[in-house]
Structure 1
Amino acid sequence: MEFRRKALENLRQPDDLDSPVRLTRPRAWAVLAVVGAIIAGGLVWSFQGELARSVDVPGILTHPLGVSKVESPQSGTVSNVLVETGKVVTKGDRVLTVVDAEGATKTVRAPFSGRAIALLVGNGQYVTAGATFMTVERTDGENDRLVAVLFAPADKAGMLKIGDRVDMDVASAPAQAFGLMRGRVTAMDQFPQTEQQVQDFLGGNKLLATQLLDQGGPIRITVDPDRDTHRPSGYRWTTDSGPPFRINSWTQVKGIGRLPGERPIDWLLPR
């Protein structure tokens, strides 16, 4: 009976039809405003923003003519090696003496100027005519200078053009300590090189050629480092001073090509 009495009393009471209804709290409006601002900012950034792009290509610091083999003009026993690895030789310098079958001593002279990269014979060894006994990094080119020669696959090479900025991570000067060497693309081969051509440019160094072709590709790109005579290295770097020592050739590098930026919206709506 108590339940029935309370039910009748509820029926007699008018409904609160004139009371306001709260749809959202002020805190919810604030959250919606923040979300809306984020969405609007994202839309503006997707059309007006720019994403930095780069392409990495392996290579080596060397001279434009690369490394060439020096062959013995005659057979015989090596009696004296007159050059050391790393030393500079001038065209015509005596580099080797060989005793032939008749006991006569023959002098072998450097056919070109450069720096000795590797000596493949020693005193007392027998060499045959035409055999390579030394490799020399050529410095006798018409416009000789230190350059970075990069080897890129076709798809990456197509992203670069002459004049593009390329920064280089030099193996002998860690980027974490000294930054990157700065440079620009000055030449690009139109056609891919064969493995043999790459080996010949590297003085027959098959291991290095294989490494560069595996990590990169057969398109050769020449990058000239930016010179700066006021820095110890002689070149410009991304840091204020760069390394406090000279950079030698025949040092491996990783070229980082700086490409034009791309709008985020182009990722979703490619042209």
Structure 2
Amino acid sequence: MSQSPPPSSPKKDIVTRDIAGRLLFLGTGTSMGVPVVGCGCDVCQSTNPKNKRLRCSVIFGLPGGNLLIDTPPDLRTQLLNNGIGIIHAVAFTHSHADHLFGLDDVRLFQFYLGHAVPIYCEPNVDAKIRKVYDYAFSNEVQTHIGSRPALDMREIGTTPFEALGSEIIPIRLQHGPKFEVLGFRVGNVAYCTDTNKIPDESWEKLQGLDVLVLDALRPDPHPTHFSVEEAVEAAQKIGAKQTYFTHISCRLEHERTNHWLPEGMELAYDGLEIPLT
């Protein structure tokens, strides 16, 4: 249901980079980002830009526009860093703060689009959005148009759905033993962050991939994320032509880790673009 409809005429002078047919990594870091505040490790102190990691998010450049996956707290900076001037829709993997708490930054796009921003998410994420961003759904009179986001909430589950001219295939993932999240597949590219277990019913959805993007937090095991070795094992089982790892902590230096990884696997980095196939 749309809230607070904006003016009917979309803005004409939008300046944005064209990423049609591409997957763009806006952020590849863990929930604290890299560098971590106050951390003196060699990765946090590194001058290599590939060791600078904002919170996790990507954009699928689809025929009908830019589909943003998650709205991390760094969203405004990520969009400016990558020259992205418009988001046409958002899909959420889950409701954790590092994937949700930049949602108000999409408030601008209701004016560019001329309508509420479509939001694709599971019911539990919808409930969290309505709680955290309760002002977006308030019946109180606005002080001015644009004082709150206009969101068109659209429920999804694990059934494929259409968005911006493409079929989006949700993939059920486990983020620890008691928390479920979604990955998303578009064509032969799958994005699977924040997971340490792929349920039996999801492996089939990950077959025949050209590119797999998979969680790999750190060298040692974690209760809710794949370690690097666990991620490599899962990626080898999936057998994508190319695998990129994301949600990376400061425990993984970019060049050293890539040197260790098997052929066809490497760490993603902020600003990386790959073709959608």
TM-score range, shorter chain: under 0.3
| Structure with greater strand percent | 1
Instruction: Flag the structure with larger Rg.
Output: 1
TM-score between both structures, scaled by the size of structure 2: 0.20
- Name the structure, 1 or 2, with higher relative contact order (CA <8 Å, separation 6+): 1
